[in-house]
Every structure is written in structure tokens, then in C-alpha cells.
Amino acid sequence: MEQRLTIVGLGVSNLKIAAQFYEEKFGWKKTASSNANITFFQLNGMLLSLYPREKLAEDATVSHEGNGFKGFTLAHNARSKAEVDNLFLDLEQKGVEIVKQPEEVFWGGYSGYVADIDGNLWEIAFNPFLLLDENGNTIEEK
């Protein structure tokens, strides 16, 4: 299998409200292929999809019930500590749940966490060891 991630799919409790969260709070735009049954957001190199939680669980033939920590986080890397702070100020003003304010962290970066409408955790971080190109894609040091 090729070393690639194409889509991150999130099972959401209410598709319309979840899509509005990403559009209004994060300022993202849905793709033209989004419809009443699924929402896509084109990220740099991959898609984020929102799909009703029960239907996603049914498709995977697992139970849709569950709560607490989901065992994963999503991450948005910024180019500076100041950018992280500015994003948190903006999201807080828009009513986004701040789970952990940004702070210096043990691995040498600066990060905090917010939650989307379904409690999915987004780490917003500045990682001085992770280089980003002009499009926000990670690049390896030569």
C-alpha cells in the first residue's frame, strides 16, 4: 500500500450543524462534491469528510455508541507562536470550545487544543522542527 492518507472521515451527530461549524468557525469552504448526505473540505493534499455518525458506523459494521477521548487528534500546524495565539483568539471570539490554551510543550513546540461541535480535538501548534512549504504542506529537511 502506498504511504498516503487521502481522506479523514469524521462521523458527526448532525451533518448540517457540523458543516456550519467548519464553515463559520474555521472559515473553510465546502467542495462542489458536497451534498445533503456528506460534506467535504479540501485540505492541502487530502479531504476532510463529515458524514452522519450512525451511517458511518453502519458502513464500517461497528457500533456508533461511544464517548470520551476518541483515541486520536487532528492537527493544524502554524508557522509561528504568534499565529497560534491569533488563531485561538479568533476561535474563542467565535465561541469555539477551548480545551487547552496554547503553551510551551514538552516536545519543544507550542500548542493548545480546541474541540469541534462533536468533541473531535484539534491541536493547533507551532512545531519548530516541522517545516512547512508555502501551501502549508510539511517538507523534510535536506
By the 8 A CB rule, do 22 and 31 touch?
Answer: no
Longest dimension (CA), the chain: 45
Question: What is the per-residue pLDDT across 98-114, written as a single tens digit (0 to 9) for each?
Answer: 999 999 999 899 999 99
Q: How far apart are CA 135 and CA 34, in angstroms?
A: 23
| pTM for the model | 0.85
* pLDDT (0 to 100) of residue 1: 79
* pLDDT (0 to 100) of residue 72: 85
By the 8 A CB rule, do 44 and 4 touch?
Answer: no
Question: What is the per-residue pLDDT across 7-36, written as a single tens digit (0 to 9) for each?
Answer: 999 999 999 999 999 999 999 999 999 999
Q: How far apart are CA 113 and CA 98, in angstroms?
A: 6
* pLDDT (0 to 100) of residue 130: 86
Average pLDDT over residues 50-59: 88
Q: Which SS3 state, helix, strand or coil, does residue 79 take?
A: coil
